[in-house]
Amino acid sequence: MKIADTTDYFRTLCADFPDWLTPYINTRELQTQKHISVSCGTIYSDLFKNDTFYSSLDHSIAVTLIIWHFTHDKKQTLAGLFHDISTPAFKHCVDFLNGDYINQESTENLTSEFIKKSGDVMNLLKKEGINLSEIDNYHIYPIADNDLPKLSADRLEYSLSNALFDYKLLTLDEVKEIYDDIEIQKNEFGEPELGFKTKAIARKFTRVTSKMAVFYRCDADRFSMQFIADVLKKMKDDGLITINMLYDLKESEIIEIIEKSKYKDVFNAWRKAKKVNVSLTKPKGVYYVHQKVKIRNIDPLYDGQRISKVCKLAKAAIDKSLAYKMDNYVFLNFDF
């Protein structure tokens, strides 16, 4: 069986690639995103089985294709393309560095600034007659983004791509089956929202995303994201890196700097670890992580209603996922 690649996946999301997007994608500011993994650094550790480097640029393009497919609205589509333009190396780990491990949105505050300082992007927008305020905040477009547990293009994209490339929970054919069943519906607030036409497919999607909602906040994931954040903080405090370097350098280049520092040994211990240790009591003499993080459960629409309201099996999957506790102290056998 042929293994799906990003080209196959993009074609599933939008059969006819909108050529007008290409000049935007080729700008320097967006091209830097191809060196950032959506895994938030976890791809670099043996704690995780993921072997696919799916970049922040891949994610942004895919979000864009979803929005274009459903709306054919240039402003909404561009808002989706630029929604992660201010993402630094190691992605949401920098939110952890900023103390924003619950919402994980702290770096989004720079979106407008990053677009504004790009002469190439601003010239393209001017030619289209599009104002910065119409594309620098994708939160204003419900199809592009909305609040959990609703389904948006952004949330749909990382669910499908993670299930396909990272966790291997879906095949490309199954991704297509799910995607082709989606349409724009009205939710309980009278807002447009992506929803499912078929109950069984909505249930299948919910089961998959409920599993991944646990993966996103499992012990190893929470530990790794805070560990990377703390390594970056120590490197910054020691004058070895700056915050600007997280925006200017590739992740591989930041890792090279770490591996030449006094944090090399602990970083490589994390990279080679096969499992984390957990305890309900605070461990002594080791670095540990003990905190809650963002819960990403999705309760999508089926025929204009939340699937949890009309399907007991879907509700059970969501409830089981939400019951996952984040009480453990998580650690490896080192301190720094």
pLDDT tens figures, 51-68: 899 999 999 999 999 999
Question: What's the rounded Cα separation, in Å, for the pair 67 and 54?
Answer: 19
Assigned domain for 271 exists:
no
89-135 pLDDT, tens digit each: 999 898 878 776 566 566 667 899 999 999 999 999 999 999 999 99
- Number of domains forming the structure of the chain: 1
CB contact set of 301 (below 8 Å; sequence gap of 6+): 150, 151, 185, 187, 193, 194, 195, 196, 202, 307
Q: Which two tokens stand for residue 177?
A: 């089956």
Assigned domain for 263 exists:
no
Name the pLDDT band for 42 (thresholds 50, 70, 90).
very high
229-265 pLDDT, tens digit each: 999 999 999 999 999 999 999 999 999 999 999 999 9
Question: What's the rounded Cα separation, in Å, for the pair 38 and 159?
Answer: 12
Q: What is the pLDDT of residue 72?
A: 97
Residue 126 belongs to domain with CATH number? 1.10.3210.10
CB contact set of 12 (below 8 Å; sequence gap of 6+): 172, 175, 176, 179
Beta bridge partners of 248: none
169-226 pLDDT, tens digit each: 999 999 999 999 999 999 999 999 999 999 999 999 999 999 999 999 999 999 999 9
- Residue 28: which domain range? 6-217+295-322
Question: What's the rounded Cα separation, in Å, for the pair 190 and 170?
Answer: 31
Assigned domain for 274 exists:
no
Assigned domain for 238 exists:
no
CB contact set of 7 (below 8 Å; sequence gap of 6+): none
Rounded to two decimals, the pTM is 0.95
Assigned domain for 232 exists:
no
Assigned domain for 311 exists:
yes
Question: What's the rounded Cα separation, in Å, for the pair 266 and 228?
Answer: 11
Q: What whole-number percentage of the chain has pLDDT above 70?
A: 96
What mean pLDDT do residues 302-323 have?
Answer: 98
The yes-or-no verdict on residue 306 having pLDDT over 70 is yes
Question: What's the rounded Cα separation, in Å, for the pair 319 and 308?
Answer: 9
Assigned domain for 40 exists:
yes
Q: What is the pLDDT of residue 1?
A: 45
The yes-or-no verdict on residue 13 having pLDDT over 70 is yes
Q: How many CB atoms lie within 10 A of CB 1?
A: 6
Assigned domain for 280 exists:
no
The yes-or-no verdict on residue 3 having pLDDT over 80 is no
